[in-house]
Structure 1
Amino acid sequence: MATSDFTDKAALYRSAIPQAREGLIYLNHCAVSPVTDGVQQAVLEALELRRNSRIDRFERQLQVIAETRNMLATVTGSGNPDRVAFVQNTTVALNAVARGFPWKTGDEVLVADCEFSSNVYAWTNLKRHGVNTVFVPAPDGRVTPNRILNAITSRTRIVAVSAVQYVSGFRADIAAIGRICRERDLFLVVDGIQAAGALPQHASEWGADAYCGGAHKWLMGPQGIGYLCVSDRLHTMLEPTTPGWLSVPDPWDLYNFNQDEEATARRYEGGTYNTAGIFGLHAALSMLIDIDTARSEAHILKLGSRLMAGFANLGITAALPHSQPGSMSGTDSKTAATESGSGKQLNDSAGILVNTSNAYCQHSGISAFALSESANINETIQFYRNNGIFISVRSGMLRIAPHFWNTTDEIDKVIEITARMPRLSELFMTV
């Protein structure tokens, strides 16, 4: 796609976002995204099918469900729509894996100590079944292959990691972590809600056995609709945790209780679909595929780099200062390449792990800046809100998260407004 094509399409979709039309600067996609007019219209279409047509005719619904499943397989990089299940949200997807996995007493699951709580409670809840959750220390918000590697024991069965950390914005090297897992016959579970829709995802290529997410952040879809993508090997051993009438090959053979499980990932869905949510997600995915996630990523990272440079001029340092794509600063001094055969090399003097086989960048759509302990979080958020800027704070980090439809002018405005903030030098920590 030529640059002009991307710019034109981004402007077109921007015009369909109410917040943009109102002149607001919305940079909070890491929390909840706005929805376009098209998403709203799609949800209304689903409801209209209940109002004004024969209620027991489902051709259109089934078409949209199938198309949405296909698009999820594309956007997540899982590849096979038969291994995509609709669920309520990321939490439900993670729990479907946690509760359906064939654990043995004493098994371990690795989770970083900076993960969002949904990717923690799903695993710690297994303690009652004799499964232990081992926390991987990541005090700087970086979940690196080395840190994962050093935490693996003979009891490890699953590694659960976010593609992008929700506080720091750190983008994990899932490809390298996937190689580590495959070489040790471990299962990799990826929480992709902070990545899918903003960054190209390659779940199957990375070796992710489960890729979980929801629609309401970077996918720009409705709340209350999510997905679970599973690998073939996990699919053969994962037990459905909510079996229901849709979990069998012929749901309408209602009194045949001897049916086998449905062969596809539909076995994990169980009951009636959130059709309105799926219709809205269908519209959102159509937009993202049309705009091209790779082009979105380039634009988003450009905005992030511009923001960090502008904040740096104000004396504010990002949690993950921008470096060259293909490098990851702040990693351990011991390379995972030597032990995992991942094709990586380490520059010991610089402390930079360089991916020699495939360009890797630690940055995502989230730019995070540490607030001082004396900062009043509510006042900070309200200051931006009073100036028409929507951001969020999590765990003492100010998060600014633009998407493909945001502009450089908006980033410049944020920098300008921040420069006018009272007691600016006392508000942010220097790193």
Structure 2
Amino acid sequence: MQADDIRRLFPGLQNTIYLNTATMNVGCAPAREAYERALERWSAGRFDWAEAELAGEDARAMFAEIVGCTAGEIAIVPAVSAAAGIVAANMPSAKRGENVVVAENEFASNYYSWLLLQERGYQVRTITPGGEGVSAEEFERAADGGTRLIAVSAVSSATGYRADLNAIGQIARSSGAWFFVDACQAAGAVPLDVARDGIDFLAAASHKFLLGSRGMGYLYIRRDLLDALHPVGPGWKAARKPAESFYGPTMDLSRTASKLDASLAWFPAMADQAALNIFRRFGTNALLERNSRLSLRLRNALRAEGLSFQPSSDDNRSTIVSVQVDDTSAVAARFRGANVLASLRAGRIRLAAHFYNLEEEIDRVAELIGLPE
């Protein structure tokens, strides 16, 4: 695998340094071509929805490979918030002392559904991060025998802090709690293994590091929990044989996680199939290793410029770095002049590298941030 081989699939990056994948990825050529074919067929009255459904099944299988499970444990949902809503809806009314544990600075998609559980009698224990992110020790102090769910982001969208999922998973198991992971900033960016880390539910949207577009997302459900979960707003895709279940009067739900599927967004599904094939083509492990090298290079380049950034510990690094600067407006102006795209989060410059970035781009961005005001 050579960087040039990857870059050819992202022609839009020719004159742009793009470090904003934590917001949305750069569309790859295969995904764009899938959209163009779909639009052409749709506008000619020749769109084949059955082909789109098959694309969705292929995308489901590829996501399962990335997180280390089987396709039968993956539901297709439009967003992480929808995934969290399904899990929250399946939690019964609380008994005395039952609670859920979540960081108070979680992204809303992994926060609002749990906060609403207060209406069902749960105490919501929100942890104030002691540093750049919530450590496993902080979760352990907050959880007890009444904890029924622990929710965490695998990678913080604000700071890039990478949680110790294995340690938090052990805490959840010892409390008898469900363990929900928001992997929106992790899937396709850093290694994930749902079985190794004892994860019960893991959700990710496709429009970030998975290279897809808005409207497609995935929810992993540990197989042992499938029978106990009920769909929220089931449609024809929730059936065991969807193509034979357009109408009543019977309801025969799927025995796999597809019983929790939302109706498929056909165009995004075809784009997802094309985009996720990039992981198959180059090998997920090879692409994630490239991400790790780029992340380390970015951190070293920032250190060389004397810059302060989060997460400061290499043990918690991801592909996202949050940089402290004195004048964000001045840095933003330099970025515009050099055609650099990044984000501003919590008063810091957020940089998000992905395997389509080049080493020289990483070095250039660190130099631009480090220039005297």
TM over 0.5: yes
1:162 aligns with 2:139: no
Q: For residues 47 and 65 of structure 1, what CA distance do their matches in structure 2 show?
A: 17
* Offset at residue 421 of structure 1 (A): 4.8
Q: Is the 8 A contact 2:132 2:311 kept in 1?
A: no
Q: For residues 420 and 286 of structure 1, what CA distance do their matches in structure 2 show?
A: 40
For residues 227-266 of structure 1, the aligned pairs below 5 Å read 227-251=218-242, 252-266=244-258
| 2:13 counterpart (12, 20, 28) | 20
Show CA shifts across 1:234-280 (max 9, x none): 22222211122322224434443232322122221243x10111111
Q: For residues 203 and 38 of structure 1, what CA distance do their matches in structure 2 show?
A: 28
Which of 278-287 and 246-255 deviates more? 246-255
Which of 155-164 and 114-123 deviates more? 114-123
Q: For residues 215 and 262 of structure 2, what CA distance do their matches in structure 1 show?
A: 16
Q: For residues 78 and 179 of structure 2, what CA distance do their matches in structure 1 show?
A: 21
Equivalent residue letter for 1:367: V
* Offset at residue 130 of structure 1 (A): 1.7
* Offset at residue 138 of structure 1 (A): 1.2
1:11 aligns with 2:4: yes
Query: Residue 87 of structure 1 corresponds to which residue in structure 2?
Result: 77
1:362 aligns with 2:354: no
Give the direction of change, closer, same or farther, for the CA distance of 1:421–1:277 in structure 2 (3 Å limit): farther
Query: Residue 420 of structure 1 corresponds to which residue in structure 2?
Result: 371
Q: Is the 8 A contact 1:105 1:130 kept in 2?
A: yes
Give the direction of change, closer, same or farther, for the CA distance of 1:196–1:237 in structure 2 (3 Å limit): same
Q: Is the 8 A contact 1:141 1:167 kept in 2?
A: no
Give the direction of change, closer, same or farther, for the CA distance of 1:145–1:399 in structure 2 (3 Å limit): same
| 2:272 counterpart (281, 284, 287) | 281
For residues 72-83 of structure 1, the aligned pairs below 5 Å read 72-77=63-68, 79-83=69-73
Q: Is the 8 A contact 2:165 2:197 kept in 1?
A: yes
Give secondary structure in 1 for the equivalent of 2:203.
Answer: strand
Q: Is the 8 A contact 2:325 2:348 kept in 1?
A: yes
Give secondary structure in 2 for the equivalent of 1:204.
Answer: coil
Q: For residues 51 and 100 of structure 1, what CA distance do their matches in structure 2 show?
A: 41
1:63 aligns with 2:54: yes
Q: Is the 8 A contact 1:307 1:411 kept in 2?
A: yes
Query: Residue 101 of structure 1 corresponds to which residue in structure 2?
Result: 91
Show CA shifts across 1:82-131 (max 9, x none): 12111111111111111223342453111112311211111112222222
Give secondary structure in 2 for the equivalent of 1:369.
Answer: strand
Q: Is the 8 A contact 2:185 2:208 kept in 1?
A: yes
Q: Is the 8 A contact 2:294 2:355 kept in 1?
A: no
1:30 aligns with 2:11: no
Show CA shifts across 1:408-427 (max 9, x none): 111111122223352xxxxx
Equivalent residue letter for 2:54: Q
Q: For residues 64 and 178 of structure 2, what CA distance do their matches in structure 1 show?
A: 19
Q: Is the 8 A contact 1:19 1:25 kept in 2?
A: no
Give the direction of change, closer, same or farther, for the CA distance of 1:275–1:363 in structure 2 (3 Å limit): same
Equivalent residue letter for 1:14: R
Give the direction of change, closer, same or farther, for the CA distance of 1:60–1:162 in structure 2 (3 Å limit): same
Show CA shifts across 1:299-327 (max 9, x none): 2232222222222233212222354xxxx
Q: Is the 8 A contact 2:20 2:343 kept in 1?
A: yes
Q: For residues 126 and 318 of structure 1, what CA distance do their matches in structure 2 show?
A: 35
Q: Is the 8 A contact 1:88 1:226 kept in 2?
A: yes
* Offset at residue 368 of structure 1 (A): 1.4
Equivalent residue letter for 1:47: L
Equivalent residue letter for 1:362: N
Q: For residues 114 and 320 of structure 1, what CA distance do their matches in structure 2 show?
A: 15
Over the residues paired in the alignment, what is the CA RMSD in angstroms? Answer: 2.0
For residues 215-226 of structure 1, the aligned pairs below 5 Å read 215-226=206-217
Give the direction of change, closer, same or farther, for the CA distance of 1:227–1:159 in structure 2 (3 Å limit): same
Q: Is the 8 A contact 1:391 1:400 kept in 2?
A: yes
Query: Residue 101 of structure 2 corresponds to which residue in structure 1?
Result: 110
**Alignment TM-score, normalising by the size of structure 2:** 0.92
Q: For residues 254 and 68 of structure 1, what CA distance do their matches in structure 2 show?
A: 23
Q: For residues 332 and 226 of structure 2, what CA distance do their matches in structure 1 show?
A: 44
Equivalent residue letter for 1:19: G
Q: For residues 305 and 14 of structure 1, what CA distance do their matches in structure 2 show?
A: 20
Show CA shifts across 1:2-34 (max 9, x none): xxxx22xx322312323322x110011111110
Q: For residues 238 and 101 of structure 1, what CA distance do their matches in structure 2 show?
A: 9
1:314 aligns with 2:265: no
* Offset at residue 293 of structure 1 (A): 2.9
Give the direction of change, closer, same or farther, for the CA distance of 1:181–1:277 in structure 2 (3 Å limit): same
Equivalent residue letter for 1:391: A
Q: For residues 117 and 329 of structure 2, what CA distance do their matches in structure 1 show?
A: 36
| 1:409 counterpart (335, 342, 360) | 360
Q: For residues 372 and 290 of structure 2, what CA distance do their matches in structure 1 show?
A: 27
